[in-house]
Amino acid sequence: MNASVRLSMSSLRAHKRRFAGTFLAVFLGVAFLAGTLVMGDTLRANFDTMFGDATSGTDAVVRSADAITTPGESQGVRQPVSTALVKTVERVPGVAAAAPSIQGAGQLVGANGKAVGGKGPPTLAGNWITDPQLNPYRLAEGRTPARSGEVVVNRGAADKGHLKIGDTTTLRTPDPVKVTIVGLATFGGEDGMAQVTYTGMTQADAEKYLTARPGEAATISVRAGPGISQRQLVDRLTPVLPKGVEAITGQQSAQENTDMISSQFLTIFTTFLLVFSGIALLVATFSIHNTFAIVIAQRTRENALLRALGASRRQITAATVVEASVVAATASAAGLAGGIGIAAGLQGLFPAIGFPFPEGDLVIRALSMALPLAVGIVVCLGSALMPAVRAGRTAPLAALRETAVDQSGASRVRAVTGLALAALALGTTLTGILVSPSLLLAGVGAVLALVAFVVLGPVASSTAVRVLGSPLDRLRGVTGGLARRNALRSPRRTAATASALMIGVAVVSLFTVFGASLKATMDQTVSRSFAGDVAVSTPSFGAGGSGLSPQLAGAIGKLPEVDTAVGLGRGVAEVDGKGRALTVTDPTALARTFDLGTVQGSLRNLGTDGIAITRTEADRQHLTTGSTAQLAFTDGEKKTFTVRAVYGRSELAGDYVITRAAWSPHRTQDSDTLVAVSFKQGVDATAGKAAVEQIAAHYGNPQVQTRHEYAQSSAGGIDMMLTLVYALLALAVLIALLGIANTLTLAIHERTRELGLLRAVGQTRSQLRAMVRWESVLVAAFGTVGGLALGAFLGWVLVKASDGASDSAFAIPPVQLVVVALVGLAAGALAGLRPARRAARLDVLRAIATD
């Protein structure tokens, strides 16, 4: 063993506790990262297995070849196929069975009158396929639906809605249908396909409620006879299918389903988690760097002695690097084990919170182990590198010097560099937002701002701590004053400790500000463009929910209180070669309940060949009133529409508006997403709302909201996202706190003599504890304030950069940010607890002993 290695080993043995914080920081970061990767792989593999199992009896799927995908949607819309094709398919040699599969949206109403699901995952309804091998769902209890009104639901959905066999409830298709549950089903051995709810009806019911016309099905599932492979089956089917209809193998269909879940849910989910483990590791970097920097500073005398005795710079540096490597390797290895533990824990936890996690072994790929291990080691070594080089530079004479107060952080060079960086960051960001809008420029500016904050930290820390701590002298007397000065002692160290928390707090405030701004934007949108009195909608987002019955708008319109009730439906078509969402409505009524801005032309007479377009879309495609545009529908039909109106505001009305008459030949399941209602003059708002609610109760009881309520609930998903983000950021904040605690513990070790003296001349233990705690709170306060400022700035950048500047509102939520600040301070007090206790336990005599 060479000298450097021997030195670092003995140092590690002697100072195990000093590295506990570093170890924990690396461990947590790596564990989170590895856990995320393992869980992602496991979920993906298990969904594969689940789909494979569920659809193993299906050898081929017949469906429309073309799908139209609109932006922001991963799954395209396909035209249904005719059920008459079943007969054709059955006649093909080698086909054992074929069944139409009708799919639509159908949301169950639970025993408590509230809709089941709809918060993201789809709420599906379809025909119960009688051939058990072709049906991905298996009957687990009860019987299959035999008569109209009888349904089978997946067990997960039944449990969630507290429904059982024999119960009668409502299925929103979106027209309310009274159904009786006669059976419960499972999917691939689980209570459901993740959170997706499924209701299986008789084929006649399904055709009646879920398709635009009877005799249509989404797909046809085909089972092969013995000795026929899936490939052979597809090859035999293809020639008999009409144009625009294709056959794919069952395997491919299962794969597409898995990919759909992967891209819609898993990828987003894991990417999200990976981003947060990245943040956690970034925060960890600061903590680790600080620990090594302090340990090196404390070892100055020892290193100087070694240098005086003839150790080379390289040997000293190497000793520190080896030390860091050992910590990195052990912590990362432990982190891998922890990550597997996290994944296993989540696998157990998910079913407990009602999320059927497909069963199966954990999938541990080499990459999911190698990557976190590498990241952990790189982070740890990278953080230790600078301190190690500094250790090597120790002058042999340093052994004889006494260093009391370190002023290194506040150098002029640093201040100038930091300010230059800050100016550059501001310039880049402003250019990216205001001058030539570019997300890239704004992003570069944001990153520069972060760097500027970190560089300026030590310069700012002196002033900031002095200002933040100024009430302490008055409040806590000499104890507070000492705390403040201790926090001022080493600006660089204080800044590095605070930086970790600063980043955590910055990300929290960034999301808080972004969320509040999104809400403000929605509020602004609704109040600006919604001119009606109440809005009727179903509380759902994502792919869930089934929308509103198209009859609802008409029924509400008949009320004596109501002036106009207009339903907005959704259609898709390809315009200019790209999938676009169409708003299907009564354009005349639309103009009365929505503020569409300046309208060129008229929405009055669109007819079946007229279309209204927003100003932005019209400009982009160089269209004006009178020009024509070609729309291609899912059924393959291409139709030329004349632009009859160009309107200014698109927030609620969408970019393209066509009439119901124009859409109906191409429609699938019919539903509205929103019914906007305006009352007659002199009608009391409360009375009007009550009247509308009464009608709505007959149509599956959707939500009736005033303009203000509607604006609020449009932002409902944002709060849920924020909650999740906060939960994930707790890890980063925890690591930052570990950093503060660790730095304090090391600082206390460094100040043993001083603390001993204070105790000797009469500082009580509680005064000593208070002093350490206040120092911790001050450091946390500095980090929190910096984080709030940085987070607000980044939030502003994100808001302005993510949406063409003009339409989005920027809002700073004062209450939430005060809460964030308080949490930061409380966290500081918490982090100081243990070091304070340890400092108070100090033996006075040992502390003041001259050597």
Partner 1 sequence: MTTATTTRTAARVVDAVKVYGVGDTAVRALDGVSVDFPAGRFTAIMGPSGSGKSTLMHCAAGLDTLSSGTAHIGDTELGTLDDRRLTLLRRERVGFVFQAFNLIPTLTVAENITLPLDLSGARGDQEWIDELIGIVGLRDRLHHRPSELSGGQQQRVAVARAFAGRPEVVFADEPTGNLDSRSGGEVLGLLRSAVRQTDRTVVMVTHDPVAAAHADEVVFLADGRLVDRMESPTAEKVLDRLKAFEDVRS
Q: Assess contact for 797 and 446: CB atoms under 8 A.
A: yes
Three-state SS string over 320-378 comes to HHHHHHHHHHHHHHHHHHHHHHHHHHHHHHHHHCCCCCCCCCCCCCHHHHHHHHHHHHH
| 492, 580, 667, 759: which one binds partner 1 (CB under 8 A) | 759
In the bound state with partner 1, the residue whose beta carbon lies nearer, of 486 and 525, is 486
Buried b (16+ CB within 10 A) or exposed e, 315-347: bbbbbbbbbbbbbbbebbbbbbebbbebbbebb
Q: How far is the CB of 508 from partner 1 (least distance, A)?
A: 32
| Selected binder of partner 1 within 485, 528, 592, 639 (CB under 8 A) | 485
In the bound state with partner 1, the residue whose beta carbon lies nearer, of 208 and 485, is 485
Q: Rule CB under 8 A: say whether 300 interacts with partner 1.
A: no
**Which one, 73 or 750, has the nearer CB to partner 1?**
750
Single out the segment in contact with partner 1 by CB under 8 A; choices: 88-96, 307-315, 478-486, 680-688: 478-486
**8 A C-beta contact, residue 642 and residue 626:** yes
* Separation of alpha carbons 96 and 225, rounded Å: 5
Considering the rule CB under 8 A, would residue 681 count as an interface residue with partner 1? no
Please give the residues from 86 up to 105 whose contact with partner 1 meets the rule CB under 8 A. Answer: none
User: In 398-459, where do the E strands start and end?
Assistant: none
Whether 717 and 702 have beta carbons less than 8 Å apart is answered as no
Written as one letter, the residue type at 549 is: S
CA 142 to chain centre: 39
DSSP 3-state of 846: helix
Q: Are 802 and 808 in contact (CB under 8 A)?
A: yes
Q: Which of residues 296 and 768 has its CB atom nearest to partner 1 in the complex?
A: 768
Measured CA to CA, the distance from residue 504 to residue 484 in angstroms comes to: 23
Q: Which residues is 216 bridged to in the sheet?
A: 82
Nearest approach, Cβ of 489 to partner 1 (angstroms)?
6
209 is written with which tokens?
């409620």
- Considering only 16-24, 304-312, 461-469, 474-482, which stretch makes contact with partner 1 by CB under 8 A? 474-482
Distance CA 8, CA 323 (A): 5
Q: Please tell me what DSSP assigns to residue 530.
A: B
> What sign for the dihedral angle of Cα 231, 237, 243, 249?
negative
User: Judged by CB under 8 A, which stretch of 171-179, 183-191, 479-487, 731-739 contacts partner 1?
Assistant: 479-487
Residue 478 near partner 1 by CB under 8 A: yes
Residue 547 — left, alpha, or beta (φ > 0 → left; ψ -120 to 50 → alpha)?
Answer: left
486 binding partner 1? (CB under 8 A): yes
Segment near partner 1 (CB under 8 A), from 17-25, 471-479, 792-800, 814-822?
471-479
Does 758 interact with partner 1 (rule: CB under 8 A)?
yes
Q: Which of 794, 818, 799, 798 is nearest to 810 (CA)?
A: 799
Instruction: Please work out the total of residues on this chain that contact partner 1, with binding judged by CB under 8 A.
Output: 28
With binding defined as CB under 8 A, does residue 746 bind partner 1? no
Minimum CB separation of residue 482 from partner 1 in Å reads 7
Q: Is 844 in the site for partner 1 (CB under 8 A)?
A: yes
470 is an interface residue for partner 1 by CB under 8 A: no
Minimum distance of partner 1 from residue 849's CB (angstroms): 9
Interaction of residue 757 with partner 1, rule CB under 8 A: yes
Residues between 760 and 819 that touch partner 1 (CB under 8 A): 760-767
Which stretch in 518-526, 572-580, 736-744, 756-764 sits in contact with partner 1 by CB under 8 A?
756-764
Residues 204-223 that bind partner 1 (CB under 8 A): none
Q: Tell me the closest approach of the beta carbon of residue 494 to partner 1, in angstroms.
A: 13
Interface with partner 1 includes 348 (CB under 8 A)? no
Q: Smallest distance from the beta carbon of 841 to partner 1, in angstroms?
A: 11
Q: For the CB of residue 764, give the shortest distance to partner 1 in the complex, in Å.
A: 5
| Residue number, 319 or 482, with CB nearest to partner 1 | 482
Say if residue 392 is exposed, middle or buried (CB neighbours under 10 Å; 0-12, 13-18, 19+).
buried
Q: What whole-number distance in Å separates Cα of residue 771 and Cα of residue 482? A: 7
**474 lines the binding site for partner 1 (CB under 8 A):** no
| The binder of partner 1 chosen from 14, 309, 405, 413 (CB under 8 A) | 405
The residue from 313, 554, 753, 805 that contacts partner 1 (CB under 8 A) is: 753
User: Which chain residues interact with partner 1 by CB under 8 A?
Assistant: 404-405, 477-479, 481-482, 485-486, 488-489, 753-754, 757-767, 844-845, 848, 850
